[in-house]
Amino acid sequence: MDQRTGSIDAVQALLGEQGYVADRALSTVVFLALRLGRPLFLEGAAGVGKTEIAKVLAAALGRRLIRLQCYEGLDAASAVAEWNFPAQMVAIRAAEAGGGDTTHLRHDLFSDEFLIARPLLEAMRPQPGGPPVLLIDELDRTDAPFEAFLLEALSEFQVTIPEMGTIRAPAPPIVILTSNRTREVHDALKRRCLYHWVDYPAFEREMEILAARVPEASAQLSREVVAFVQRLRGADLFKKPGVAETIDWARCLLALDVIALSPEVISDTLGAILKYQDDIQRIEGSEARRLLDEVRREIATG
């Protein structure tokens, strides 16, 4: 067993070394996914650190990260492998022009040489450093038929290419699936996986994240930024800011040499945390002032 992932604490520390602040519940589910060899299904709002978990896990374990970005209309061929048509055509022409023996041509055309491996096939192949981390990102963007196909691939850790046969992973990859829950993913697929809802972090945890990701921000500015963003998440907004936005905002404020928030600074930089004009209009001006007053009172009373 790998010492680095031998306990929940070890997993938490390992993620921490990569600058990822994981709470106990998340560390537990990652530990279990690794220990039991089960895919991990992460759901949550935008920008709360779902995709990042796969990245830091791959970096921490020295494994290759293979990413399957899902989108509407993604089909099995684009996820597994495709034949390189132009190269096959060239080979056919060359064989015809050569006038030699073409009996092997059909076999040669459907060999590795003309196969373009896509993420799922790559993930089933042996990789230096051990089984890769397979990130199946934003699964909610695909459709039910693709989910059914994935279910099969993940239950056996194998994929089939009609012209070549079945390719089975020598050792199961570490699989992480993410979803923004724009639709429900089918129960059958969820049942294969361990599930975790990644929530917005509480104040203290978001302070830790900011300290890890933007260490050059002062404690005072960080407190104001985090407290303000946390208040914003309680406001009636079309799209609440995630952790990614907190980090971006802190970086913007540093670039502007801001040492403390003011209503003017907030209004000028709202585009770093709010991405819809309606939301920006709702907050800028007097609402920003009111929220900032609340934040100041909250910080003063500890």
Ligand X SMILES: Nc1ncnc2c1ncn2[C@@H]1O[C@H](COP(=O)(O)OP(=O)(O)OP(=O)(O)O)[C@@H](O)[C@H]1O
Closest residue to ligand X, based on beta-carbon distance: 49
* CB crowding 50-87: b at 16 or more within 10 Å, else e: bbbbbbbbbbbbebbbbbbebeeebebeebbbeeeeee
Site string for ligand X, 234-273 (x = CB under 6 A): ---------xx--x--------------------------
Closest to ligand X by CB, 85 vs 276, is 276
Paired tokens of 85: 């048509």
Minimal distance, residue 189 CB to Mg ion, in Å: 18
d(CA 231, CA 27): 27
From 7, 18, 28, 51, residue interacting with Mg ion (rule: CB under 5 A): 51
Torsion of the alpha carbons at 154, 170, 11 and 134, rounded to the nearest 10: -50
Site string for ligand X, 42-61 (x = CB under 6 A): --x-xxxxxxx---------
Chosen from ligand X, Mg ion, none, partner binding at 66 (C-beta under 5 to 8 Å by type): none
Chosen from Mg ion, ligand X, none, partner binding at 154 (C-beta under 5 to 8 Å by type): none
Which of 13, 138, 18, 160 has the alpha carbon at shortest distance from 77? Answer: 160
How large is the C-alpha radius of gyration of the chain?
24
Site string for ligand X, 100-129 (x = CB under 6 A): ------------------------------
Phi, psi dihedrals of residue 58, rounded to the nearest 5°: -60, -45
Stretch that binds Mg ion, among 44-52, 119-127, 197-205, 249-257 (CB under 5 A): 44-52
CB 67 within 8 A of CB 119: yes
Closest to Mg ion by CB, 142 vs 222, is 142
Residue 135's CB is within 10 A of a number of other CB atoms, namely: 26
Site string for Mg ion, 228-267 (x = CB under 5 A): ----------------------------------------
Q: Which of residues 10-29 bind ligand X (CB under 6 A)?
A: 19-21
194 lines the binding site for ligand X (CB under 6 A): no
Q: How far is CA 238 from the centre of its chain?
A: 22
d(CA 223, CA 229): 10
Minimal distance, residue 70 CB to Mg ion, in Å: 11
- Amino acid letter for position 219: A
| Contacting positions for Mg ion (CB under 5 A) | 51
| Contacting positions for ligand X (CB under 6 A) | 19-21, 44, 46-52, 178, 180, 209, 212-213, 243-244, 247
